[in-house]
């Protein structure tokens, strides 16, 4: 049952992270540039956000006149966002060893982007969703262009910003159309309108929903809105690339599941067919484009496009009228994808001695001979991304494709399985280079950032543990999704 209808405690986790961002920015004024206190404060603030969120598990409260809702669903994403940001902070401290010190505002922007993600996960109104999305996006644009000493960083940030602004216009215009059709921007009001409608969604509402899909499709890098991803991923500092590939994508799907869960709940809607095609194209284009990439950041960017297709396969079956397995699969897959993708980018940071030095396949050649543990960890992440047991990636795809089959979309599930076979080629090509190719370049010794090394080990163990014992994470994902209804 709901607690106090409009309780300020509903925003406690977000306020905690927001306060940490402000403290980091102020403390940075009084310490020397690059002081270790700054990232530690940022990590402490994010950890506090996780603790506050975990303590509120099971509570359901609203704030801001019902536009913000705290429940198990939003708390699940809060923990995911903060955990991904903590890993990013750790990798950023390692990244500083060779590329100069990140300024204090870097960590503040990272925390503020998490606040925006929290708003997206808790949004019960399209206006709140837009505010959260823009808060996250503006911070991400700056973080991508932070490598001011590299031309590609500025170019990637400009592309990301221009296309992002264009996508935001679609999102806002879609919101206006939905308001015109329903008279409200609140999710409850839209759901009530859909239930009361005897003729199904009208043209105006469907047009608004399609524009929302375009805007959110850009944020999650779904085909054909994925053009920015390879350039932005390659241009950004490696820790930020990992953050964008996991946390930013998860925030987009937190909104997608909510909005299109409502719209797909009614029969005779064309939105479901559109998402079906986007899922199929994302799986096909993402996997086949990744084959040609020698740069690992670009390969993982196209790989993330393919994983968006797998996630959208589960979204198609996530409506209450279909199967709750779909929504559960989306949440489980997002957590699994965060573990294995952050792990892969962590290896790139450590292998480069804490800098963007090892980004291509040839850069990782002979890694097994110089650092067997690091090569083993990367192998685990590649196996998991391929969807091979006993890793968490296998169960992520199992639940995603299972939801599609259970909802009657067998053809889409078959395409997902076949494209997963294609993915095995480029993922295992990384393993071949690490174990079977002689090193072509000489860099600083591997494994210099100790805390980043520890992070790689923890993530590798988590990928295996969650694959062998998936029930705990699955139950959390199921409980979080069902709390929406």
Angle at 483 (CA atoms; ends 53, 122), nearest 5 degrees: 50
pLDDT value for 106: 87
Across 53-57, 139-143, 256-260, least confident range: 256-260
Model pLDDT, residue 265: 55
Instruction: Inform me whether the pLDDT recorded for 371 exceeds 80.
Output: yes
Identify the residue with better confidence: 340 or 154. 340
Confidence category of residue 200, pLDDT binned at 50, 70, 90: low
Per residue, what are the HEC states of 432-482?
Answer: HHHHHCCCCCCCCCCCCCHHHHHHHHHHHHHHHHHHHCCHHHHHHHHHHHH
Reply yes or no on whether the pLDDT at 289 is more than 50: yes
- Per-residue pLDDT, averaged over 94-121, amounts to 81
Lowest mean pLDDT among 257-266, 297-306, 376-385, 398-407: 257-266
In the predicted model, what is the mean pLDDT of residues 284-290?
Answer: 94
Percent of the chain with pLDDT over 70: 89
Average pLDDT value for residue range 331-335: 93
Burial of 443 (0-12, 13-18, 19+ CB in 10 A): middle
Q: How confident is the model at residue 53 (pLDDT cuts 50, 70, 90)?
A: very high
Residue 425 predicted with pLDDT over 90: yes
User: What's the predicted TM-score (pTM) here?
Assistant: 0.91
Look at residue 351 in the predicted model and tell me its pLDDT: 82
Closest to 156 in 3D by CA, of 229, 72, 58: 229
pLDDT at 213 over 60: yes
Residue of 422 and 265 predicted with greater confidence: 422
The pLDDT tens digits for 61-74 are 888 888 888 989 99
- Alpha carbon distance 18, 291 (integer Å): 41
pLDDT over 80 at 459, yes or no: yes
pLDDT band at 113 (very low <50, low <70, confident <90, very high): very high
More confident call, 58 vs 385: 385
Return the pLDDT at 5.
47
In DSSP terms, 70 is beta-bridged to 61
What is the residue-averaged pLDDT of the chain? 86
Cis previous bond, 406, omega within 30:
no
pLDDT at site 262? 62
* Residue 450 pLDDT level (bands cut at 50, 70, 90): confident
Q: What was the pLDDT predicted at 441?
A: 59
DSSP code string of 318-377: -STTT-HHHHHHHHHHHHHHHHHHHHHHHHHHHHTTSSTT--BTGGGTTHHHH-HHHHHH
pLDDT band at 342 (very low <50, low <70, confident <90, very high): very high
pLDDT-based confidence at residue 102 (cuts at 50, 70, 90): low
Selected residue with higher pLDDT from 297 and 194: 297
CA distance 280 to 416: 8
Which of 25-34, 97-106, 155-164, 187-196 bottoms out in mean pLDDT, i.e. has the lowest?
Answer: 97-106
Which pLDDT score is estimated for 49? 94
pLDDT of residue 263: 63
At residue 360, the pLDDT reads: 81
**68-70 and 61-63 strand pairing:** antiparallel
Question: pLDDT-based confidence at 58, cuts 50/70/90?
Answer: confident
Residue 4 pLDDT greater than 70, yes or no:
no
Q: Which of 95-109, 322-336, 341-355 has the lowest mean pLDDT?
A: 95-109
Give the mean pLDDT of 441-469. Answer: 79
**Does residue 258 have a pLDDT over 90?**
no
Q: Is residue 299 over pLDDT 60?
A: yes
3-class DSSP state for residue 62? Answer: strand
Judged by average pLDDT, the poorest of 2-11, 36-45, 279-288, 427-436 is: 2-11
């Amino acid at each position: 049952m709901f607690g106090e209808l409009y309780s300020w405690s509903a925003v406690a986790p977000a306020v905690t992270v927001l306060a940490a961002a402000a403290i980091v920015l102020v403390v940075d004024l009084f310490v020397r540039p690059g002081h270790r206190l700054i990232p530690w404060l940022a990590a402490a603030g994010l950890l506090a956000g996780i603790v506050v969120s975990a303590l509120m598990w099971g509570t359901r409260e609203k704030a801001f006149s019902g536009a913000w809702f705290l429940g198990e669903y939003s708390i699940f994403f809060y923990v995911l966002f903060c955990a991904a940001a903590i890993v990013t902070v750790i990798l950023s401290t390692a990244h500083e060893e060779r590329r100069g010190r990140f300024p204090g505002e870097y960590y503040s922007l990272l925390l503020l982007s998490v606040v925006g993600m929290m708003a997206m996960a808790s949004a019960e109104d399209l206006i709140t969703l837009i505010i959260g999305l823009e808060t996250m996006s503006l911070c991400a644009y700056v973080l991508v262009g932070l490598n001011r000493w590299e031309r590609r960083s500025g170019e990637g940030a400009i592309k990301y910003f221009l296309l992002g602004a264009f996508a935001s216009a679609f999102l806002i215009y879609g919101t206006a159309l939905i308001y015109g059709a329903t008279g409200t921007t609140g999710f409850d009001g839209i759901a009530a309108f859909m239930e009361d409608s005897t003729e199904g969604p009208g043209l105006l509402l469907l047009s608004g929903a399609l524009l929302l899909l375009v805007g959110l499709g850009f944020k999650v890098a779904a085909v054909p809105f994925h053009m920015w991803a390879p350039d932005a991923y390659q241009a950004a500092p490696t820790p930020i690339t990992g953050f964008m590939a996991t946390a930013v994508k998860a925030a987009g799907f937190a909104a997608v599941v909510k909005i299109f869960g409502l719209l797909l709940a009614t029969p005779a809607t064309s939105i479901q067919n559109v998402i079906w095609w986007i899922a199929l194209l994302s799986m096909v284009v993402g996997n086949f484009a990744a084959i040609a990439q020698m740069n690992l950041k670009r390969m993982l960017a196209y790989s993330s496009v393919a994983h968006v297709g797998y996630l959208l396969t589960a979204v198609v079956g996530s409506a209450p009228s279909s199967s709750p397995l779909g929504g559960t699969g989306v949440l489980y897959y997002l957590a699994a994808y965060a573990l294995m993708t952050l792990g892969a980018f962590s290896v790139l940071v450590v292998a480069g001695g804490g800098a963007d030095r090892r980004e291509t396949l040839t850069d990782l050649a002979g890694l097994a001979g110089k650092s067997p543990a690091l090569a083993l960890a990367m192998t685990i992440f590649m196996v998991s991304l391929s969807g091979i047991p006993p890793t968490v990636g296998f169960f992520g795809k199992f639940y995603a494709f299972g939801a599609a089959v259970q909802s009657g979309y067998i053809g889409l599930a078959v395409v997902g399985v076949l494209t997963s076979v294609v993915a095995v080629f480029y993922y295992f090509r990384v393993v071949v280079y690490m174990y079977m190719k002689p090193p072509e370049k000489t860099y600083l010794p591997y494994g210099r950032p100790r805390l980043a090394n520890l992070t790689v080990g923890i993530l590798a163990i988590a990928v295996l543990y969650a694959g062998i014992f998936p029930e705990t994470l699955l139950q959390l994902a199921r409980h979080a999704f069902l709390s929406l209804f």
